[in-house]
């Protein structure tokens, strides 16, 4: 960890590019940042603020820093099984069952919302919360059909083994289209307001909403609802995953819940009220997890590399945060230019996955070395479990 001279900026990444540093400097220069911005070990350049940036702000929030996938994060569940229980079973069949239970890729939603009994209670919870908080969802008439869908990009579902060869279910997703619509709406409002107030910004994606305005209050209400949706979305998909995995293992639906013994569900794109530097702040973790002392979180690698279940150390300099993954080395365009489907197949040797050129931009070589990221994060978290995947399902 070192301070970037002359800026309220601490950097925990040993490998970081100049553009990411410049983006972080712009963010750290905003007048309401306190006590400093922290760059996580996986930090890389993003839209507006760098991904892997932790931003504490007093009486203001930057909607574009939270990003368009509000509440994006990870969920992991340990099962009663070990590697030996998988012997002789066809992982391709399980992958196909997962793909039938969980809609994949952007724009793909559930054809109906009553296939699984547990979906009903989650929708009722979200509907009641939306009514109570007066959340405007008119922009997303199909938000109910989005619950339990994966999305695209680097969103994924995996079956993993830990250091004791115990079987884990693992997935990455967020608030889907409804969260995107909420984010886009408030980013535009913040930009319009800052322009009307003649506020000069380093870039338009640092437009902010002051806490004293009704627009801020509306954003926080809708943001918290989207974060709730994201948590429920991951839980919904995990319950579906568990259902089909149990059936694949020969357990009927009534016994599916009994195969799970541990679960962690955490955001890595979100804002919440916390205390840092002796002040109440809105802490935005854009590509970072909560690492307060004892808090459990998930740090995934890329497809074909290790992932980690961790516990926070409560590092004040790191704003009680930790990295959210490996972090990209190459853009998607550059990865497609450099690598082929054959390169991906070689890197995924021994792992069941959907073959094809459309996943080349997710090849492990397009990401930072997860071992280096975790070494850089040694002061932020301690490792509880180390996972390696045996099956991977990607959104496109």
341, two tokens: 């489907």
394 is in an annotated binding site: yes
Catalytic status, residue 7: no
Q: HSE on the CB side for 107, CA within 13 Å?
A: 1
Question: What whole-number distance in Å separates Cα of residue 342 and Cα of residue 356?
Answer: 9
158 is in an annotated binding site: yes
Exposure letters 139-155 (e unless 16+ CB within 10 A, then b): ebeebbbbbbbbbebbb
* Helix, coil or strand: residue 44: strand
69 is in an annotated binding site: yes
What phi, psi does 204 have (nearest 5°)?
Answer: -60, -25
Select from 249, 349, 265, 342 the least CA-distant residue to 305: 349
118 is in an annotated binding site: no
34 is in an annotated binding site: no
307 is in an annotated binding site: yes
Name the active-site residue from 36, 186, 224, 324.
324
106 is in an annotated binding site: no
Its sign, for the CA torsion 366, 371, 374, 378, is negative
188 is in an annotated binding site: no
Question: What whole-number distance in Å separates Cα of residue 40 and Cα of residue 71?
Answer: 18
Question: What whole-number distance in Å separates Cα of residue 240 and Cα of residue 87?
Answer: 23
300 is in an annotated binding site: yes
Which residues are CB-neighbours of 349 under 8 A, at least 6 positions away?
none
302 is in an annotated binding site: yes
For residue 79, the Cα-to-chain-centroid distance in whole angstroms is 22
Question: What whole-number distance in Å separates Cα of residue 242 and Cα of residue 259?
Answer: 8
Strand partners, 7: none
7 is in an annotated binding site: no
356 is in an annotated binding site: no
2 is in an annotated binding site: no
Its sign, for the CA torsion 163, 301, 268, 157, is negative
Which residues are CB-neighbours of 198 under 8 A, at least 6 positions away?
none
324 is in an annotated binding site: yes
Give catalytic residues, as residue numbers.
324
Could you tell me which residues are annotated as the binding site for GMP?
A: 154-158, 268-269, 300-303, 307, 324-327, 394
Could you tell me which residues are annotated as the binding site for Mn(2+)?
A: 69, 155, 172, 268
Could you tell me which residues are annotated as the binding site?
A: 69, 154-158, 172, 268-269, 300-303, 307, 324-327, 394
């Amino acid at each position: 960890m070192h301070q970037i001279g002359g800026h309220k900026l601490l950097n925990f990444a040993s490998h970081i590019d100049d553009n990411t540093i410049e983006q972080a400097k712009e963010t750290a220069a905003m007048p309401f940042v306190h006590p400093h911005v922290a760059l996580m070990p996986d930090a890389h350049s993003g839209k507006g603020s760098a991904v892997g940036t932790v931003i504490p702000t007093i009486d203001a929030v930057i909607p574009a820093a939270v990003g368009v996938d509000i509440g994006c994060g990870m969920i992991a569940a340990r099962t009663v099984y070990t590697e030996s229980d998988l012997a002789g079973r066809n992982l391709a069949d399980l992958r196909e069952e997962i793909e039938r239970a969980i809609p994949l890729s952007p724009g793909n939603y559930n054809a109906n919302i009553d296939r699984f009994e547990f979906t009903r209670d989650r929708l009722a919870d979200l509907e009641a919360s939306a009514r109570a908080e007066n959340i405007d969802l008119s922009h997303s008439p199909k938000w109910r059909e989005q619950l339990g869908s994966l999305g695209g990009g680097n969103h994924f579902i995996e079956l993993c083994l830990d250091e004791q060869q115990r079987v884990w279910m693992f997935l990455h997703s967020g608030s889907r289209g409804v969260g995107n619509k909420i984010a886009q709406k408030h980013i535009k409002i913040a930009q319009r307001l800052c322009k009307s107030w003649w506020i000069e910004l380093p870039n338009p994606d640092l437009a902010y909403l002051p806490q004293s305005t009704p627009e801020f209050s509306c954003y926080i209400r809708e943001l918290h609802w989207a974060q709730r949706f994201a948590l429920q979305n991951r839980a919904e998909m995990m319950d579906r995953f568990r259902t089909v995995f149990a059936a694949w293992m020969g357990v009927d639906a009534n016994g599916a819940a009994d195969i799970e013994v541990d679960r962690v569900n955490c955001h890595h794109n979100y804002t919440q009220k916390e205390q840092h530097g002796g002040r109440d702040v809105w802490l935005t973790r854009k590509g970072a997890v909560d690492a307060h002392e004892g808090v459990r979180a998930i740090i995934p690698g890329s497809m074909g590399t290790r992932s980690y279940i961790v516990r926070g150390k409560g590092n004040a300099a790191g704003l009680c945060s930790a990295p959210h993954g490996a972090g990209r080395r190459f853009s998607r365009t550059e990865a497609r230019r450099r690598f082929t489907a054959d390169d991906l197949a070689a890197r995924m040797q021994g792992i069941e996955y959907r073959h094809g050129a459309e996943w080349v931009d997710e090849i492990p070589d397009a990401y930072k070395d997860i071992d280096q990221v975790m070494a850089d994060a040694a002061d932020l978290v301690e490792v509880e479990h180390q996972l390696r995947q045996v099956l991977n399902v990607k959104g496109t």
